[in-house]
Amino acid sequence: MRIVNELVDIPYRRFAYAYDRMMSNVDYDRWVRYMVELFEYYGPMPRRVLDLACGTGSIAIPLAQRGFQVTGIDRAPEMLEVAEKKAKRAGVSVEWRVGDMRNFTVEDPFDAVLCLYDSINYALTREELEAVFESVHRALVPGGLWIFDVTTEHNIVEHFHGETFSENHPDFTYIWKNVYLRTEKICRTELTFFLRNESGSFDRYIELHLQKIFEVGEIKRSLDRTGFHLLSAFDAWTFSKHRRDSDRINFTARRRED
Protein backbone atom coordinates (compact mmCIF):
# COMPACT_ATOMS: atom_id res chain seq x y z
CA MET A 1 0.00 0.00 0.00
CA ARG A 2 1.22 3.50 -0.80
CA ILE A 3 -0.17 6.74 0.62
CA VAL A 4 -1.08 8.95 -2.33
CA ASN A 5 -2.65 11.87 -0.49
CA GLU A 6 -2.72 12.31 3.26
CA LEU A 7 -5.64 14.72 2.86
CA VAL A 8 -7.71 15.35 -0.28
CA ASP A 9 -8.29 19.09 -0.73
CA ILE A 10 -11.91 19.01 -1.97
CA PRO A 11 -14.38 16.55 -0.41
CA TYR A 12 -16.03 14.01 -2.70
CA ARG A 13 -13.14 13.79 -5.16
CA ARG A 14 -12.14 10.27 -4.09
CA PHE A 15 -15.54 9.62 -2.57
CA ALA A 16 -16.92 9.74 -6.14
CA TYR A 17 -15.44 6.34 -6.97
CA ALA A 18 -17.56 4.54 -4.39
CA TYR A 19 -20.29 7.08 -3.62
CA ASP A 20 -23.26 5.40 -5.32
CA ARG A 21 -22.46 2.01 -3.82
CA MET A 22 -22.00 3.51 -0.36
CA MET A 23 -25.31 5.36 -0.69
CA SER A 24 -27.26 2.46 -2.21
CA ASN A 25 -29.67 2.52 0.76
CA VAL A 26 -30.80 6.11 0.02
CA ASP A 27 -34.31 6.31 -1.46
CA TYR A 28 -33.69 8.92 -4.16
CA ASP A 29 -37.00 8.13 -5.84
CA ARG A 30 -38.73 9.26 -2.67
CA TRP A 31 -36.76 12.51 -2.77
CA VAL A 32 -37.67 13.14 -6.41
CA ARG A 33 -41.36 12.49 -5.74
CA TYR A 34 -41.23 14.92 -2.82
CA MET A 35 -39.67 17.64 -4.97
CA VAL A 36 -42.42 17.25 -7.57
CA GLU A 37 -45.06 17.34 -4.82
CA LEU A 38 -43.56 20.60 -3.52
CA PHE A 39 -43.56 22.04 -7.05
CA GLU A 40 -47.24 21.15 -7.37
CA TYR A 41 -48.11 22.45 -3.91
CA TYR A 42 -46.49 25.86 -4.26
CA GLY A 43 -46.62 26.30 -8.05
CA PRO A 44 -46.24 27.20 -10.73
CA MET A 45 -44.70 23.98 -12.03
CA PRO A 46 -41.11 24.83 -13.04
CA ARG A 47 -39.70 24.04 -16.44
CA ARG A 48 -35.99 24.72 -15.85
CA VAL A 49 -34.47 23.31 -12.64
CA LEU A 50 -30.99 23.73 -11.19
CA ASP A 51 -29.69 20.94 -8.93
CA LEU A 52 -27.00 22.56 -6.79
CA ALA A 53 -24.32 20.30 -5.25
CA CYS A 54 -25.81 17.62 -7.49
CA GLY A 55 -23.22 14.92 -6.79
CA THR A 56 -23.56 11.93 -9.10
CA GLY A 57 -26.91 13.10 -10.46
CA SER A 58 -29.21 10.81 -8.47
CA ILE A 59 -31.81 13.59 -8.23
CA ALA A 60 -31.08 15.46 -11.46
CA ILE A 61 -31.35 12.44 -13.75
CA PRO A 62 -34.79 11.23 -12.54
CA LEU A 63 -36.05 14.83 -12.79
CA ALA A 64 -34.84 14.97 -16.39
CA GLN A 65 -36.61 11.66 -17.04
CA ARG A 66 -39.81 13.33 -15.82
CA GLY A 67 -39.45 16.04 -18.47
CA PHE A 68 -37.74 18.86 -16.55
CA GLN A 69 -34.87 20.73 -18.17
CA VAL A 70 -32.13 20.15 -15.62
CA THR A 71 -28.67 21.56 -14.98
CA GLY A 72 -26.42 20.10 -12.28
CA ILE A 73 -23.63 22.00 -10.54
CA ASP A 74 -21.04 20.43 -8.22
CA ARG A 75 -17.55 21.47 -7.16
CA ALA A 76 -16.09 17.95 -7.49
CA PRO A 77 -15.39 17.14 -11.18
CA GLU A 78 -15.11 13.45 -10.32
CA MET A 79 -18.72 13.38 -9.12
CA LEU A 80 -19.85 15.01 -12.36
CA GLU A 81 -17.95 12.45 -14.43
CA VAL A 82 -19.98 9.71 -12.75
CA ALA A 83 -23.18 11.74 -13.24
CA GLU A 84 -22.53 12.18 -16.96
CA LYS A 85 -22.05 8.44 -17.47
CA LYS A 86 -25.27 7.73 -15.56
CA ALA A 87 -27.21 10.27 -17.63
CA LYS A 88 -25.99 8.68 -20.86
CA ARG A 89 -27.06 5.24 -19.67
CA ALA A 90 -30.46 6.67 -18.73
CA GLY A 91 -30.81 8.30 -22.15
CA VAL A 92 -31.39 11.83 -20.83
CA SER A 93 -29.69 15.15 -21.41
CA VAL A 94 -28.48 17.07 -18.35
CA GLU A 95 -26.03 19.96 -18.43
CA TRP A 96 -23.24 19.34 -15.90
CA ARG A 97 -21.11 22.21 -14.65
CA VAL A 98 -18.29 22.52 -12.12
CA GLY A 99 -19.07 25.24 -9.59
CA ASP A 100 -19.12 26.14 -5.91
CA MET A 101 -22.53 26.74 -4.33
CA ARG A 102 -21.15 29.82 -2.55
CA ASN A 103 -20.21 31.77 -5.67
CA PHE A 104 -21.63 30.21 -8.83
CA THR A 105 -23.23 32.16 -11.68
CA VAL A 106 -25.60 31.18 -14.49
CA GLU A 107 -26.37 32.77 -17.84
CA ASP A 108 -30.15 32.33 -17.72
CA PRO A 109 -32.12 32.18 -14.45
CA PHE A 110 -34.01 29.05 -13.43
CA ASP A 111 -37.59 28.48 -12.31
CA ALA A 112 -36.44 26.43 -9.31
CA VAL A 113 -33.16 25.64 -7.53
CA LEU A 114 -32.64 22.55 -5.36
CA CYS A 115 -29.85 21.68 -2.92
CA LEU A 116 -30.46 18.36 -1.20
CA TYR A 117 -29.02 15.75 1.15
CA ASP A 118 -27.66 18.30 3.68
CA SER A 119 -25.30 19.92 1.18
CA ILE A 120 -26.20 23.29 2.71
CA ASN A 121 -24.52 22.14 5.94
CA TYR A 122 -21.17 22.47 4.15
CA ALA A 123 -21.55 26.26 4.50
CA LEU A 124 -19.63 26.69 7.75
CA THR A 125 -20.55 30.25 8.75
CA ARG A 126 -23.51 32.60 8.44
CA GLU A 127 -21.51 34.53 5.84
CA GLU A 128 -21.02 31.40 3.74
CA LEU A 129 -24.67 30.44 4.14
CA GLU A 130 -25.79 33.86 2.92
CA ALA A 131 -23.28 33.70 0.06
CA VAL A 132 -25.07 30.52 -1.08
CA PHE A 133 -28.46 32.21 -0.76
CA GLU A 134 -27.25 35.28 -2.69
CA SER A 135 -25.91 33.08 -5.50
CA VAL A 136 -29.21 31.21 -5.63
CA HIS A 137 -31.12 34.50 -5.66
CA ARG A 138 -29.19 35.58 -8.77
CA ALA A 139 -29.86 32.17 -10.36
CA LEU A 140 -33.65 32.32 -9.94
CA VAL A 141 -36.38 34.10 -11.82
CA PRO A 142 -38.48 36.46 -9.64
CA GLY A 143 -40.95 34.26 -7.78
CA GLY A 144 -38.80 31.17 -8.35
CA LEU A 145 -38.65 28.37 -5.77
CA TRP A 146 -35.60 27.64 -3.61
CA ILE A 147 -35.78 24.18 -1.99
CA PHE A 148 -33.09 22.76 0.28
CA ASP A 149 -32.69 20.63 3.38
CA VAL A 150 -30.39 20.54 6.39
CA THR A 151 -29.36 17.83 8.78
CA THR A 152 -30.11 18.63 12.41
CA GLU A 153 -28.21 18.52 15.67
CA HIS A 154 -30.60 15.79 16.81
CA ASN A 155 -29.62 13.64 13.82
CA ILE A 156 -25.88 14.13 14.34
CA VAL A 157 -25.93 13.53 18.09
CA GLU A 158 -28.28 10.52 17.93
CA HIS A 159 -26.80 8.73 14.94
CA PHE A 160 -23.27 9.92 14.15
CA HIS A 161 -21.37 11.53 17.04
CA GLY A 162 -18.57 9.25 18.20
CA GLU A 163 -19.51 6.57 15.67
CA THR A 164 -17.22 4.79 13.21
CA PHE A 165 -18.58 2.98 10.15
CA SER A 166 -16.62 0.78 7.76
CA GLU A 167 -17.13 -1.59 4.85
CA ASN A 168 -14.90 -3.86 2.77
CA HIS A 169 -15.40 -4.42 -0.95
CA PRO A 170 -13.20 -6.16 -3.53
CA ASP A 171 -12.01 -2.86 -5.00
CA PHE A 172 -12.31 -0.47 -2.06
CA THR A 173 -12.55 -0.19 1.70
CA TYR A 174 -13.67 2.82 3.70
CA ILE A 175 -13.54 3.93 7.32
CA TRP A 176 -15.97 6.72 8.32
CA LYS A 177 -15.30 8.47 11.67
CA ASN A 178 -17.60 11.15 13.09
CA VAL A 179 -17.17 13.65 15.93
CA TYR A 180 -19.60 16.46 16.77
CA LEU A 181 -18.07 19.62 18.24
CA ARG A 182 -20.98 20.94 20.24
CA THR A 183 -19.60 24.41 20.98
CA GLU A 184 -18.88 25.13 17.32
CA LYS A 185 -21.90 23.10 16.13
CA ILE A 186 -19.63 21.41 13.61
CA CYS A 187 -19.71 17.74 12.64
CA ARG A 188 -16.20 16.57 11.70
CA THR A 189 -16.15 13.50 9.47
CA GLU A 190 -12.93 11.82 8.42
CA LEU A 191 -13.29 9.41 5.51
CA THR A 192 -10.37 7.11 4.77
CA PHE A 193 -10.50 5.23 1.46
CA PHE A 194 -8.36 2.35 0.31
CA LEU A 195 -8.85 2.13 -3.48
CA ARG A 196 -7.46 -0.69 -5.60
CA ASN A 197 -5.10 0.62 -8.29
CA GLU A 198 -4.13 -0.84 -11.67
CA SER A 199 -1.35 -2.93 -10.15
CA GLY A 200 -3.79 -4.61 -7.79
CA SER A 201 -2.52 -2.97 -4.61
CA PHE A 202 -4.36 -0.26 -2.69
CA ASP A 203 -3.84 3.49 -2.44
CA ARG A 204 -4.97 5.37 0.66
CA TYR A 205 -6.80 8.70 0.51
CA ILE A 206 -8.28 10.77 3.31
CA GLU A 207 -11.11 13.28 2.96
CA LEU A 208 -12.15 15.65 5.72
CA HIS A 209 -15.81 16.72 5.73
CA LEU A 210 -17.03 19.56 7.95
CA GLN A 211 -20.73 20.32 8.33
CA LYS A 212 -22.33 23.16 10.29
CA ILE A 213 -25.62 22.87 12.16
CA PHE A 214 -27.93 25.85 11.60
CA GLU A 215 -31.08 26.48 13.58
CA VAL A 216 -34.36 27.20 11.79
CA GLY A 217 -34.44 30.78 13.07
CA GLU A 218 -30.93 31.46 11.73
CA ILE A 219 -31.90 30.14 8.31
CA LYS A 220 -35.12 32.14 8.23
CA ARG A 221 -33.27 35.38 9.03
CA SER A 222 -30.63 34.67 6.39
CA LEU A 223 -33.30 33.95 3.78
CA ASP A 224 -35.01 37.22 4.63
CA ARG A 225 -31.75 39.18 4.38
CA THR A 226 -31.00 37.71 0.94
CA GLY A 227 -34.36 38.39 -0.72
CA PHE A 228 -36.41 35.27 0.00
CA HIS A 229 -39.75 34.62 1.65
CA LEU A 230 -39.77 31.39 3.67
CA LEU A 231 -42.79 29.28 2.74
CA SER A 232 -42.21 26.25 4.95
CA ALA A 233 -39.79 24.31 7.14
CA PHE A 234 -41.14 20.76 7.01
CA ASP A 235 -40.05 17.54 8.60
CA ALA A 236 -38.35 15.97 5.58
CA TRP A 237 -40.54 14.19 3.00
CA THR A 238 -43.71 15.44 4.70
CA PHE A 239 -45.96 18.48 4.72
CA SER A 240 -45.83 18.67 8.52
CA LYS A 241 -43.96 21.31 10.49
CA HIS A 242 -40.50 20.27 11.68
CA ARG A 243 -40.19 18.91 15.23
CA ARG A 244 -37.53 19.01 17.93
CA ASP A 245 -36.60 15.43 17.02
CA SER A 246 -36.55 15.91 13.25
CA ASP A 247 -33.45 14.37 11.70
CA ARG A 248 -33.76 16.46 8.55
CA ILE A 249 -35.66 19.67 7.80
CA ASN A 250 -36.76 20.65 4.30
CA PHE A 251 -37.05 24.35 3.54
CA THR A 252 -39.00 25.90 0.67
CA ALA A 253 -38.61 29.60 -0.05
CA ARG A 254 -39.63 31.89 -2.86
CA ARG A 255 -37.49 34.59 -4.39
CA ARG A 256 -39.22 37.91 -3.84
CA GLU A 257 -40.40 39.81 -6.87
CA ASP A 258 -38.01 42.57 -7.95
Q: What is the DSSP letter of 36?
A: H
Distance CA 96, CA 51 (A): 10
CA distance 175 to 15: 12
Core vs surface per residue 87-96: b (16+ CB within 10 A) or e: beeeebebeb
- 228-241 pLDDT, tens digit per residue, is 999 999 999 999 99
Report the chain's C-alpha Rg in angstroms: 18
Record the pTM.
0.94
How far is residue 107's CA from residue 246's CA, in Å, rounded to a whole number? 37
Please, is 112 exposed, middle or buried when counting C-beta atoms within 10 Å of its C-beta (0-12, 13-18, 19+)? Answer: buried
Helix orientation angle between 77-90 and 15-22, rounded to the nearest 10 degrees: 50
pLDDT of residue 129: 98
Q: What is the pLDDT of residues 43-71, one digit of tens each?
A: 999 999 999 999 999 999 999 999 999 99
Mind listing the pLDDT tens digit for each residue in 160-213? 999 999 999 999 999 999 999 999 999 999 999 898 888 888 888 888 999 999
Split at pLDDT 50, 70, 90, the class of 3 is very low
